[in-house]
Amino acid sequence: MTIEIGIVLFVVVVMIICLIKEVTRPDFIVFCALAVLLLLGVLSPADALKGFSNEGMITVALLFIVAGAVQQSGILTQVVLRTLGKGKKPKTALLRMMIPVSGLSAFLNNTPIVVMFTPVVRKWCQEHNIAPSKFLIPLSYATIFGGTVTLIGTSTNLLAHGLMIESGMSGYSMFTLAIVGIPAAMVGTLYMSTIGFRLLPNRKTSEETFQENTKEYLSELVVETDAPMIGKTIEQAGLRNLSGLYLIEIIRKEGDRIAPITSQHKIREGDRLLFTGLISTIVELQNIKGLRVQTSSQIRLDDLQNGTQSLFEVVVSHQSSLTNRSIKETKFREKFGGGVIAVHRNDERINSKVGDIVLQPGDTLLVLASQDFVSRWSNSKAFYLMNSVKEQAVIDPKKSMIAIVTLIVMVLLATFELLSMLKAATLAVLVLFLTKTVSFESVKKYVHFNVLLLIASAIGIGVALEQTGAAALLAENLILITKGLGIIGVIAVMYLITTIFTEIITNNAAVVLMFPIAFATASQMGIDPLSLLIPITIAASASFATPIGYQTNLIVYGPGGYRFNDYLKVGIPLNILYMVVTVLISYFVWL
């Protein structure tokens, strides 16, 4: 082993540990690892920057724009609602939902699909007296199924495609992965509509938990006529830093409502003060002269809303800057213009003062904010916006149709190889700009720059593994370890390692780390590289066993009222099924 190989392996191991421990955002961790290799001279500047000019990475950036334009269309929501039907046979309805969702996910980014359909599916379930927990995990899994079918199904597929081109291969065609992806998706869908459906729990959603337990965390106090605090600011009245309660709204005697509340708002006679948090600490307020607790009051969440204020449910993203920090530390109210009323985690509301709650990926927050909260934060990287009480604005149907037709034409051009995927995506984006379907301002919302940075940086890590000989060394050891298992055993081990990486780090990082090892292993064994590259590409996306392994699983975690064990119970058998189908087809088709 050379010094360079030792350095690369050490940096990669440290990077993986940091990703597992979620020290900071994944894109920043991988970028730092790349920077270290550059500064130590392991990589030249040209090699370190290869990822930023990689065809797969650029194609991903363009497809973000195309998918963003399409996903704003109300047509997609109507398609899913029509396929769900009347709900008389839940298993049939589940099957009818999963098939079109998988089809959409084959051509669109799966994360926005789940964000868009979660409130739709949840509302449909509630209207038909079906537990949404029976449908939301399948919604997430369906998008993963679809993502393994086409070249543009996920950024992971395009990343692997770009790495293949960098290695001198021709890359995937539009439907190369479908040879494995379609049978695997069929098996997965059949499993979810039968055995998986029975394994899924009957749970209340986070929305229902918030609604039913308001008396446990909401309280109302009235400012009496002789209260000494009248005319004082919230800060002066001592209502800002209470030990267990948090002031979320003031209702004036005239009916006006104030939320979110700043330290400088002044108290008036007859004000109704609404607090959230630990009701057991309300004695702290009872001791303040002039405040009367409304013991007979039963506050409902609907009572907090008016013409300007609405309730919103948001799920903390796994790449959010909010994670591992208390709500008070994040200055949520000042930054996002809304007050957090309650937090739901692991199928229960966290019983604590809201400001002291340390946020984790997958936490569901109930936020009281102005109605422009949707337009301002619907594309936030900090959280996924689940729903709002008010209906969102209807998108221009003409522009929606242009976006959908553009997507179809782009797919056809790439499928029949009239244009490369990169050129087809470039033409599609050009059409969207010329028809004013998208604007330069909207591009900022659609493009996930953190994903692009992670992909570009991860490619540089892959280059280091390959050029230093670290990938070849790992491949040699892998062949020795699996010597008695045969080629099919090597494929299975490669798939298994990739899927473990996906569950504990990220899908894009997993495929970049495994690509040079798989390529080197295929070269040393003298077999078709596709027999190993396709399994690792599928495995990098086929993450079902945990809510944190794949972003769509995390999105439905809180809204569905799920627990971590629910994913293990339903997902592990599905992981095994996907592995068996992928390994067998790869073995018989490409060897």
Q: Is residue 262 a part of any domain in this protein?
A: no
Same domain membership, residue 181 and residue 100: yes
Mean pLDDT of 188-209: 91
Give CA–CA dist 231/307, Å, rounded: 26
Q: Are strands 257-258 and 291-293 parallel, antiparallel or unpaired?
A: unpaired
Residues 74 and 138 in one domain: yes
- Asked if residue 155 is part of any domain, the answer here is yes
Cβ(275)–Cβ(218) below 8 Å:
yes
At residue 391, the pLDDT reads 42
Q: What is the pLDDT of residues 213-271, one digit of tens each?
A: 787 888 888 999 888 999 999 888 888 778 788 888 888 888 888 888 888 899 999 99
* Statement: residue 24 has pLDDT above 60: yes
- Who has greater pLDDT, 244 or 562? 562
Q: How far apart, in whole angstroms, are the C-alpha atoms of residue 55 and residue 165?
A: 8
pLDDT digits (tens, 9 = 90+) for 455-477: 899 899 999 999 999 999 999 99
Q: Are 66 and 168 in a shared domain?
A: yes
List, as one string, the DSSP characters of 246-279.
Answer: EEEEEE-TTS-EE-S--TTPBP-TTPEEEEEE-G
- Residues 158 and 100 both lie in one domain: yes
The token pair that represents 445 in the structure block: 């919302």
Name the domain count of the chain. 2
Whether 307 shows a pLDDT value over 70: the answer reads: no
pLDDT band at 484 (very low <50, low <70, confident <90, very high): confident
Q: Which domain holds residue 360?
A: 309-388
- DSSP-assigned states of every residue in 500-567: HHHHHS-HHHHHHHHHHHHHHHHHHHT--THHHHHHHHHHHH---S-SSSSHHHHHHHTTTT--HHHH
- What is the tens place of the pLDDT at every residue in 101-151? 999 999 988 888 888 888 888 888 888 889 999 999 999 999 999 999 999
Estimate to the nearest angstrom the gap between the alpha carbon of 383 and the chain centroid.
Answer: 8
Q: Is residue 480 part of a domain?
A: no
Same domain flag for 120 and 184: yes
Assess if residue 49 is contained within a domain: no
* Domain match, 99 and 191 both: yes
Residue 556 lies in a domain: no
pLDDT in tens, 41-72: 999 999 999 999 898 899 999 999 998 888 76
With vertex at residue 461, the alpha carbon angle to CA 572 and CA 37, rounded to the nearest 5 degrees, is: 135
Share of the chain above pLDDT 70, in %: 95
pLDDT at 306: 67
Inside any domain, residue 135: yes
In a domain, 41, yes or no: no
Asked if 344 and 558 count as a contact pair (C-beta separation under 8 A), the reply is: yes
Confidence tier at 298 by pLDDT (50, 70, 90): low
Q: How many residues does the chain have?
A: 591
Sign of the torsion formed by the C-alpha atoms of 500, 503, 506 and 511: positive
Same domain, 405 and 374: no
- What pLDDT was estimated at residue 374? 80
Are 422 and 315 members of one domain? no
- Check which CATH number belongs to the domain holding 366 and give it: 3.30.70.1450
Q: Do residue 333 and residue 354 come from a single domain?
A: yes
Q: What is the pTM of this model?
A: 0.86
- Mean pLDDT for 295-320 is 77
Residue 575 lies in a domain: no
Give the per-residue pLDDT at 115. 84
Predicted confidence (pLDDT) per residue in 343-392, tens digit? 998 888 888 888 889 998 889 999 988 878 887 887 777 898 886 434 44
